[in-house]
Amino acid sequence: MNPLVESFFDSETSTVSHIVHTGAGSDAAIVDSVLDFDPKSGRTSRESADRLVDFIAREKLTVVWHLETHVHADHLSAAPYLKNKLGGKIGIGAGIVEVQETFGKVFNFGLDVSGTGAEFDELFADGATFRIGPLEGRVLHVPGHTPADVAYVIGDAAFIGDTLFAPDLGTARADFPGGDAHTLYRSARRILTLPGETRLFLCHDYPPEGRDVVMHTTVAEQCAKNKHLADGIGEDTFVEMREARDKTLALPTLMLPSVQVNMRAGQLPPKEENGVAYIKIPLDLM
């Protein structure tokens, strides 16, 4: 059985969230949800997440999973908010343990983060399977962008996070801690060995002027047209391009807030004695 997919684009972070289901009244999964965050004021809000809630209510869906493709560096996850409202379990790739170790040191978290991924309900190993009602999902470990990246293959659909973008944009960067361009190439090629008609649902799109937002492509389209990874582009050529390009890129605007929240499964930092939660910003480190 192939899934139905409803996709939502958040223009503030250029993030695409997806709801996977089989029709009205069925079980469902939410992939890569967004918690609204204003970096200028530090205020959070939930308009983006509530769009998903409204769709789920209209379709009378039962949420069984909140799936994260990786620890996002460009938006905060709304998974805890949605879990509280809708139920379901939060899952991520088992590589979260490495991310927690690496960024736990960056933020000097100590015991504030488990280091074992215990903040999540499920840590998926490569090849793990899970169910969304009659649908079976399969997990592909696709590191390179980060150590924890996974793709979720569900019927003729795959939710691929940041590994690949729309064909005219190419691929994600590989210069974050734990990232690697060689590994990213091999992970992307692994995704591109899926059947050509497989729908690839993206986590982001940054459309150039004059182009509509792209929220999914196919394996065949990526193999034919991806500017960084089309068939015939070898690993050495890709790595040379990717590493040179990454040296020109600034850190994402929301990287420091996002990573420290998302490595906690989307939980905001605990409130201090004055009742206020605080984001940590390391100075002169990154």
Predicted TM-score (pTM) of the model is: 0.96
Please say whether the beta carbons of 131 and 185 come within 8 A.
Answer: no
The predicted model gives 113-124 an average pLDDT of 96
Closest CA to 185 of 245, 237, 253: 237
Percent with pLDDT over 90 in the chain: 94
Which pLDDT score, from 0 to 100, does residue 286 have? Answer: 81
Query: Do 162 and 147 meet the contact criterion of CB atoms below 8 Å apart?
Result: no
Instruction: Quote the CA–CA distance of 145 and 252 in Å, as a whole number.
Output: 14
Residue 109 is predicted with a pLDDT of: 83
Q: What is the mean pLDDT of residues 209-238?
A: 97
Q: What is the mean pLDDT of the chain?
A: 96
Helix (H, G, I), strand (E, B) or coil at 47: helix
Nearest-angstrom CA–CA distance, 111 and 117: 13
Q: Tell me if 26 sits within 8 A of 60, measured CB to CB.
A: no
Q: How confident is the model at residue 111, as a pLDDT?
A: 64
Q: Which of 60, 96, 63, 68 is nearest to 82 (CA)?
A: 63
CA angle 137, 148, 241 (to 5 degrees): 110
85, burial (CB in 10 Å: exposed 0-12, middle 13-18, buried 19+): middle
pLDDT at 45 over 90: yes
Write down the pLDDT at residue 195. 98
CA atoms within 13 A on the CB side of 286: 18
Range scoring the smallest mean pLDDT among 42-51, 104-113, 213-222, 264-273: 104-113
